[in-house]
Chains A and B, each alone.
Chain A
Amino acid sequence: MTLVTRHARPVIAAALVLTLFNLLVFAAGEAPWRALVTGLEGSLGTAYGLGQVLYKATSLAIAGAAFQVAYRAGLFNVGIEGQIALAALAAGVVGARLGWAPAWIAVPVAGGAAVGVAAGWAALAGWLRVRFGAHEVITTILQNRLADALLPLALAHGLGETGVRTRDVAASAAIPRLSVLSHALAGSAASFAVLLALVTPWLIDRWERRAKVGREVGLVGLGPEACRAAGVPVSSRLLVALTLSGAVAGLTACGAVLGYKGHYELGMTTGVGFAGIAVGLLGRGTPLGLLAAALLVGALQQTGLVLNATVPKEATDVLFGAVILAVATTGRREVTR
């Protein structure tokens, strides 16, 4: 492959994606270029739109980091979706009972509940893997279905205000919105949980590079047999990786429940976990890559919502798929044996 074609590939990919988008818009009966401009204005062109993109990117970056933690160990955590949902319920339920506590207690306790529940839920899959050899892809998919069934059950039997949502969390357990910084962001869902999205991938990266256990997790992912032969506790490292992956997934709930809605309702986090897997794969194992991927996907989703009135939101889903394919193919290195 020559230098020219190597550098031309991302450009070609971007051009193809844009063309596809315009075709979809045209098919929906709208003026192609205008729709794109409207969509971009609505997502990146206004302070409110930017706030919405930040809100979405916050969840996506954390969910992507959760995926990467497991992926490093050679584990494919498909259960992030369910882990986030259970964590969101936990944040809502615990957050609503913290009226007595000041914010410096209430926020960490509600967030900790979310993290703990999600970590425990993921650890179950990890235990099944190391104890019985049950593959985590299968078990986490099944756990997602289980979570789907458990959530309405829990809300209907004691944990919910109604059958579909929890009570509102205490004011002290809420994470302040970014709109306190600027009135331009008024009404936007972005909160200070965005700091979690900045810090989490970076902390995980440090842990994987510097800490003994973190490095062993990565080495186990590269060569489990050699690690076992060298005395690395492979089972324990796999368990740690999947549990931590779940814990990070649980953090995602903070932005949604404590930073935005103020309660948990059914379906509130739907899709975040799965989009997070895509973000985790697009991010290519670096914190900056993860943030860039989260912003890209977040902007795409927001653009879809802006255009929803005229162009079906599904058009942006198609676009999302196309972007993933484009990034995956342009980033492919020349295969050498």
Chain B
Amino acid sequence: MRIEARGLTKRYGDVVALDDVSAQLTEGRITALLGENGAGKSTLLRLLAGLSAPTSGELVLDGVARARVSPAEARRLGIGVVHQHFSLVPSFDGLKNLMLGDEPVGPLGVLRPGALLARAERVMRDVGLEVDLGLPAEALSVGERQRLEILRVLVRGATTLLFDEPTATQTRAEAARLYAVMRRLADDGATVAVVTHHLDEVSAHADEVVVLRRGARVFAGEARGLTTDELARLALGAAPPPVSRPPPPVDAPVVLALDALGAGRLVDVSLEVRRGEIVGVAGVDGNGQDELVELIAGLAAPARGRLSLDGAPLDGLDVAARRSRGLGVVHGDRHALGIVAGASVHDNLVLGELGGDEAARARQRLVASGASPARLDVPISALSGGNQQKVVLARALGRPLRALVVAHPTRGVDAAAAAALRARLAEVALAGCAVLLVSADLAELRALSHRLVVLCRGRVTAALPPDVDEAELGRAMLGGAAA
């Protein structure tokens, strides 16, 4: 189906999320909606899917203009959304998840999954989606769960598929596989739109691109022939300056030392981070990174091994005590461990350190964070992901630090904010802080780190220089494992 947006505007209170945006989605083509966090991409997608109503403007669906489309109508018209956060029941198997909310029932309300299963298998064959429908959703990998979501939308007869940041937490290979599925759908005549902030995906996979900046459309047209540099200039206005790694420290003392540390999945990890040094921890997600950060932070107790800061043991100290020794931690799961979503920016900036000269500290940290809007009284949930992360980092950096542990600092963060966050990390190291950087973003690790260690199946399996060949790094990360 052909969808045209005419002059869509969406206001939330006095915030203009989308300002007079026109765009069109065509059958058989993949349209990318590109922009930084907070540019209005997801808002546009929600309006297109009838999930929220525009403040003004209209949608033209197959030539019929409408001021608003209800979610039910959108579904009847074959518009399906694959959300960024999945809506699967973890304990249900694939088939049950497909049925949920749209159960095929016989005369007496008895479930009749047979026909649905046949339809699902046909769709999987046609489109080339592979999902084991017999396994519970919780046993599936992130990529498989996403394919299940797509399958659910397709089985319900969607011919227009809207993807909301489907590749935000995916590796490049997974993303390529997803785009292959999108291409097959488009070749069969489906209308496909995908929200992303990855420039390379747009130039590699999209037919058309709509670029948004601060709620306004700055470009719409053919994606072919646009380089990532040109896209970056369109999306960001100006290209962010490249991050330069601080010079490596010479003869610096060891600040953070892990000696055969182990707990759960983590086996005997020994590491040393020196003053002013950035050590990158590379690895495929789920190889012990979260456990490592939690052990150092003091959220979990190690089963074995020792941990010390400036030569003094940290064992047995709680989070607050470690902080007062000069340890800063930024967790990878921003939503669960980084911010209190219902609280203000002010409270989030001083979480765990209330009282004293709190107001002054909060103001100081806000300025240092570079978060926008630069206001203390707004709820942090009103900020984009990148700005929330700036707040979290500013809290960790808000006191004198000896060592900083950061996990996935730029995950789900747009390019401009990511560049700012990386520059902050480089500054901190230059000022003498020992930095342990855990990341799944190899480019980030290579740009910032002085040396890399690879974590695989809970062990440090390799120590490499940052300019190591990417293929070699990849081999080390997989560690010859079947995963």
Contact = CB atoms under 8 A, between A and B. Distances in A.
B347 A223 contact: no
B318 interface: yes
Nearest to B294: A229
Among B320, B323, B337, B341, which residue has the most Cβ atoms of chain A within 10 A?
Answer: B337
Contact of A231 (B318, B331, B341): B318
Interface in B301-338: 318-320, 323, 329, 331, 336-338
Interface string A191-213: 00000000000000000000010
B320 A223 contact: no
Contacts of A231: 318-320, 323, 352-353
A162 to B, nearest CB: 51
Interface residues of B, number: 27
Given A231-B352, A232-B352, A219 B319 contact: no
Contacts, number: 57
Contact of A223 (B12, B323, B329, B339): B339
Contact of A226 (B52, B318, B339): B339
Contact of A222 (B46, B297, B342): B342
B185 to A, nearest CB: 25
Nearest to B51: A337
A63 B109 CA distance: 47
B405 to A, nearest CB: 12
A223 B342 contact: yes
B354 A223 contact: no
Given A215-B347, A231-B319, A232-B352, A223 B341 contact: yes
B299 A227 contact: no
Contacts of B337: 225-226, 229
A227 B352 contact: yes
B63 interface: no
Given A226-B337, A226-B340, A229-B319, 20 more contacts: A219-B340, A222-B340, A222-B343, A223-B339, A223-B340, A223-B343, A225-B337, A226-B336, A226-B339, A226-B351, A227-B352, A229-B329, A229-B331, A229-B337, A230-B351, A231-B320, A231-B352, A232-B351, A336-B52, A337-B52
Given A219-B347, A222-B342, A223-B342, A230 B352 contact: yes
A166 B283 CA distance: 70
A228 B355 contact: no
Interface in B6-59: 12, 46, 51-52
Contacts of A230: 319, 351-352, 395
A136 interface: no
Nearest to B324: A231
Contact of B354 (A212, A226, A229): A212
A168 interface: no
Contacts of A265: none
Size bracket of the A interface:
10 to 19
Nearest to B348: A226
B299 A228 contact: yes
A229 B297 contact: yes
Nearest to A220: B340
16 contacts: A212-B354, A212-B355, A223-B341, A226-B338, A226-B340, A228-B299, A229-B299, A229-B331, A229-B337, A230-B319, A230-B352, A231-B323, A231-B352, A337-B46, A337-B51, A337-B52
In order of increasing CB-CB distance, the 3 nearest A-B pairs are A230-B352, A223-B340, A231-B319
Given A227-B352, A229-B319, A222 B329 contact: no
A234 to B, nearest CB: 10
A228 B294 CA distance: 11
A232 B318 CA distance: 10
Best-buried of A215, A226, A337 by chain B (most CB within 10 Å):
A226
Interface in B281-305: 297, 299
Contacts of B318: 231, 233
B52 A219 contact: no
A216 interface: yes
A171 B339 CA distance: 54
A225 B335 CA distance: 10
A215 B398 CA distance: 20
Nearest to B333: A225
Nearest to A228: B299
Interface string B122-166: 000000000000000000000000000000000000000000000
Interface core residue of A222, A223, A233 (most chain B CB under 10 Å): A223
A113 to B, nearest CB: 32
